[in-house]
């Protein structure tokens, strides 16, 4: 299987800086998410992926960002509670290596997905997914073996 850019899975980068997701904990209050997004925008940080899990008391916002190091500094300076987690980000291509192929590969490898959400931007013009797996390193090896192209922080922070 070749990618649209003419590379094969064997020719793609298999190492890089892992993508770090930042989860911010917000009060369930009107405008709380907007305040965080504005803060990021004021510092030229782009939200590349986002997932919101809401409850009555609080909201957890998971984000893939163009500059996670800067955001950690901003959140520490402002006392905004957050956590970081490494996630696996992969490109989806049509056919066998699409979403169903990804899920099938992980099922066959008997590894669990803790959460999954789409990336808002399309690196290389293709859709992408962020996944948190029970064992990210094992999941990466499974997905690479199945021909998926992984995306690293360098690919997102251009």
Question: pLDDT tens, 32-90?
Answer: 889 999 999 999 999 999 999 888 878 899 999 999 999 999 999 999 999 999 999 99
pLDDT of residue 158: 59
For all residues of the chain together, what is the average pLDDT?
85
Single pTM value for the model: 0.80
Q: Are residues 43 and 53 in the same domain?
A: yes
Q: Are residues 117 and 103 in the same domain?
A: yes
Number of domains the chain is built from: 2
Residue 4 inside a domain? The answer is no
Q: Are residues 100 and 152 in the same domain?
A: yes
Percent of the chain at pLDDT exceeding 70:
87
Q: Which helix (H) or strand (E) holds 146?
A: none
The answer to whether 50 and 60 have CB atoms below 8 angstroms apart is no
The answer to whether 28 and 54 have CB atoms below 8 angstroms apart is yes
Residue 1 inside a domain? The answer is no
Range of the domain at 74: 19-85
């Amino acid at each position: 299987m070749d990618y649209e850019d003419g590379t094969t899975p064997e020719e793609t980068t298999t190492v890089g800086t892992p993508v770090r997701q930042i989860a911010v904990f917000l009060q369930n209050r009107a405008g709380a998410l907007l305040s965080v997004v504005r803060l990021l925008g004021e510092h030229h940080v782009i939200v590349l992926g986002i997932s919101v899990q809401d409850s009555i008391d609080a909201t957890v916002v998971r984000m893939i960002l163009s500059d996670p190091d800067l955001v950690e500094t901003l959140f520490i300076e402002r006392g905004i509670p957050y956590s970081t987690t490494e996630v696996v980000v992969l490109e989806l291509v049509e056919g066998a290596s699409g979403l169903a192929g990804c899920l099938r590969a992980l099922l066959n490898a008997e590894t669990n997905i803790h959460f999954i959400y789409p990336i808002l931007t399309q690196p290389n013009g293709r859709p992408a997914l962020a996944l948190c797996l029970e064992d990210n390193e094992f999941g990466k090896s499974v997905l690479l073996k199945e021909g998926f192209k992984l995306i690293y922080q360098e690919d997102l922070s251009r």
